[in-house]
Chains A and B, each alone.
Chain A
């Protein structure tokens, strides 16, 4: 028994020691709320360490849909947002929750599905038309259903096509882009995806790009600083530093080459306006 209790005692002492260690927060941190696509594509794994080294901040990246990211911003639970849902962003800034919204990068959305294309959308460039054909043929369509930027755009296209999807062929996955693509491939359906996530997963999926190029499919990422006047607890200095970092020339160059070595083409295109 003696040995036993000694062992437990040592274990508890050790736990207490490391407990302190865990609680210690030597570095100041900023909370970055962003979309799943920036994390799933691996872009943030490249950018964040560079920023952390430069600024000394610890960046707490919370990758959720754009909708949830902005909801966090509205409660002052994030310092800076990197999101891609322009209409909702404009409202977010108009309501005074965020400021200094700046362009960072873009890529585009594409409609993917089986190469055999049962709904026959390959022949159209107009994505509202493509959506209409999917609906008419009652081919399975998988929606993110999570108020993300992708989901917001998808709803807008259904509206443009004047179609109210019915749940016999329209399914919501309620998950991130990577997972939704996996479900779509497995169930042989169609889905709307950002090109970045699609390219990074292409090798594991049996899906092809069937419709692309419609101007509405442009996918634009902005960085927004959460308004410090509204939320005094927000780390506005860190947020501004991070936003400046996103649009800086060196970062923009990194974005331009990210993914080229692995996928043969860039996943994102830098689009920040030159810093004056």
Chain B
């Protein structure tokens, strides 16, 4: 129990002193997972919308694949992304392996199915007549998509939170494609693993608390956006 207390104290101390390494790791974590979530949001919501509004052969197979993808193991994603980004791999000439961009790519692969799957259900959950009503009022296709997304705003925000939560807590892919390089690709989760391996359990715990704090702050902001009064 002492150790947990030590961890909390250390976390407070690191934040209070504005420890440069910890601050930069935290900032990098937020930036990587934030960008990955935003890109996944665009990809995921448009995929979800497309699947909700169109009927075509093979649609159910794609939905089943997306639902499976919602539980994609990060290490498997990490391995595949590594194979593609290797110097001698298909995308090797971009020299992206062991860079923050590589982690963003892996996290996009992890978060996109989560956001796509949840936004698909969100759109399908809207009253079926809503679409007809909007169309009969003379809306264009683009206006229809925008209005539907607006109506499904609450569950889509929940999808964003799920996607963000999935990538910020993920370690398998980050350590594989990022390499946990000090000051360059070390994020909160990989730093926690390293400190644990070094036997610095107090530092590891402290980093864990900071990760939770960061996650809470982002989710509190998103929840605020989700739950406030809807402007009419």
Q: How far apart are the CA atoms of A92 and B158 in the complex, in Å?
A: 52
CB of A136 within 8 Å of the partner chain: no
Contact A178 B199 (CB under 8 A): yes
Given A182-B199, A200-B199, A201-B198 in contact, is the A61-B182 Cβ separation under 8 Å? yes
Q: Mark A54-90, 1 if CB is under 8 A from B, else 0.
A: 0000111111000000000001110000000000000
Contact B101 A23 (CB under 8 A): yes
Contact B92 A178 (CB under 8 A): no
CB of A18 within 8 Å of the partner chain: yes
From A3, which residue of chain B is reached at the shortest CB distance?
B231
Within A9-27, the residues touching B (CB, 8 Å) are 11-12, 15, 18-19, 22-23, 25
- Tell me which residues across on chain B come within 8 A of A75, comparing CB atoms: 86, 88
Point out the residue from B87, B181, B225 that lies within 8 Å of A233, measured CB to CB: B87
Nearest chain A CB to B227 CB, angstrom units: 13
Contact B184 A60 (CB under 8 A): yes
Nearest chain A CB to B30 CB, angstrom units: 11
Contact B86 A77 (CB under 8 A): yes
Point out the residue from A2, A22, A205 that lies within 8 Å of B199, measured CB to CB: A205
Interface size class of B (residues with CB under 8 A): 20 to 34
- Tell me which residues across on chain A come within 8 A of B231, comparing CB atoms: 1-3
Nearest chain A CB to B86 CB, angstrom units: 6
CB of B35 within 8 Å of the partner chain: yes
CB of A179 within 8 Å of the partner chain: yes
Within B85-100, the residues touching A (CB, 8 Å) are 86-88, 92, 95, 97-100
CB of A166 within 8 Å of the partner chain: no
- Tell me which residues across on chain B come within 8 A of A176, comparing CB atoms: 197
Contact B35 A15 (CB under 8 A): yes
Q: How far apart are the CA atoms of A185 and B14 in the complex, in Å?
A: 29
CB of A174 within 8 Å of the partner chain: no
Q: Mark B50-94, 1 if CB is under 8 A from A, else 0.
A: 000000000000000000000000000000000000111000100
Contact B38 A11 (CB under 8 A): yes
Contact B34 A15 (CB under 8 A): yes
Contact A179 B197 (CB under 8 A): yes
Q: Mark A166-180, 1 if CB is under 8 A from B, else 0.
A: 000000000011110
- Tell me which residues across on chain B come within 8 A of A231, comparing CB atoms: 87-88
- Tell me which residues across on chain B come within 8 A of A227, comparing CB atoms: none
Contact A19 B196 (CB under 8 A): no
CB of B172 within 8 Å of the partner chain: no
Name 7 A/B residue pairs within 8 A (Cβ), A-sorted.
A18-B35, A22-B32, A23-B101, A61-B179, A176-B197, A233-B88, A234-B87
Q: A19-B35, A42-B198, A61-B181 are in contact. List 10 more A-B contacts (CB 8 A).
A: A3-B231, A4-B225, A22-B31, A23-B99, A58-B184, A61-B182, A63-B180, A178-B196, A178-B198, A179-B196
Q: 3 closest Cβ contacts across the A-B interface?
A: A178-B197, A201-B199, A204-B199
